[in-house]
Amino acid sequence: MKGKLGTIAAGLLISVAAVPAVAEEVKTEAVITSVSGNTINAKSMAGPLTVVLTPETKIVQTSGIAKRETRDAGALIPGLIFTVEGDNQGGTITAEDIKFKEKDWRTAIATKAGTVEQFSELRKAIIEGQEYVIQDETTVYFKVGSSTISAADKANLKALAEKAPSFGNYRISILGFADPTGNAAANERLSLKRAGAVSNYLRQTGKINPGRVLSPSAMGEEGSAPDIAAPTNNEEARRVVVRVVTPKTQLTQ
């Protein structure tokens, strides 16, 4: 009898051990520390956290009161603050929904090294004047059809480059413009050539980290950007506007 009871007890223990831990539905906020494939390592107020993405995971970026945009897993980068909902089992959350704020994504990109595509989005945000503070600015003017930088403008660019590191977590935005005479497509190419010349000069000054100079943008003859006054004549239109910008939520490296 004792043998039979022992066998039953052993069987019960085996059955209990075979039952997996019950998953718990959770919602928590955390900051990403690293990403490897579909696994995110993060830190929450409660401690380290592992988040696993699946093909069904919904990733949403929010801005303002009601704007929502679906993003892919590539937007989940180190330094990003996010909220995750899903099943927590053994300290690992299988994510059903992930949300993060657009301004937090921009801060993460500005603080960490991003991909070409991510910096393209950041550059667009700077052009649109969203979530960034203009710390310093200079304008380089060009002769008709030329992309040659004058000695005086080189001096101004060098002075801006020397000052830029004092702003901490800075980036340098370069916007090229052209006058409205001639072919519009040619003018856009010329505005990019001018912006490229300015970018190359800034990178070669030795005063700044080249990685902090964003890819130049061609605004052509009709492009506009916040806080840039419209030109009053063609001489003013042939220009490149250079800005040292920092996130409104300034973080230093």
Q: What is the pLDDT of residues 161-181, one digit of tens each?
A: 999 999 888 889 888 888 888
Of residues 22 and 157, which shows the higher confidence score?
Answer: 157
Confidence check: pLDDT of 129 > 90: no
For residue 4, what pLDDT is reported?
A: 54
Structure confidence at residue 34 as a pLDDT band (50, 70, 90) = confident
Could you state, in order of their start, the residue ranges of all structural domains in the chain?
A: 23-110, 114-247
Confidence check: pLDDT of 105 > 50: yes
DSSP H or E run through 246? strand 239-247
Q: Do domains 23-110 and 114-247 have the same CATH topology?
A: no
What the block records as the tokens of 115 is 């991909």
- Architecture category of domain 114-247 in CATH: 2-Layer Sandwich (3.30)
Question: What is the pTM for the complete model shown?
Answer: 0.50
For residue 117, what pLDDT is reported?
A: 53
> In this structure, which topology does domain 23-110 adopt according to CATH?
OB fold (Dihydrolipoamide Acetyltransferase, E2P) (2.40.50)
Average pLDDT over every residue of 60-88:
85
Strand partners, 88: 24, 93
Contacts of 161 (CB under 8 A, 6+ apart): 202, 205, 207, 208
Candidates 177, 160, 153; CA nearest to 245 is 160
Q: Measure the CA–CA gap between 217 and 194, rounded to whole angstroms.
A: 10
Confidence check: pLDDT of 73 > 80: yes
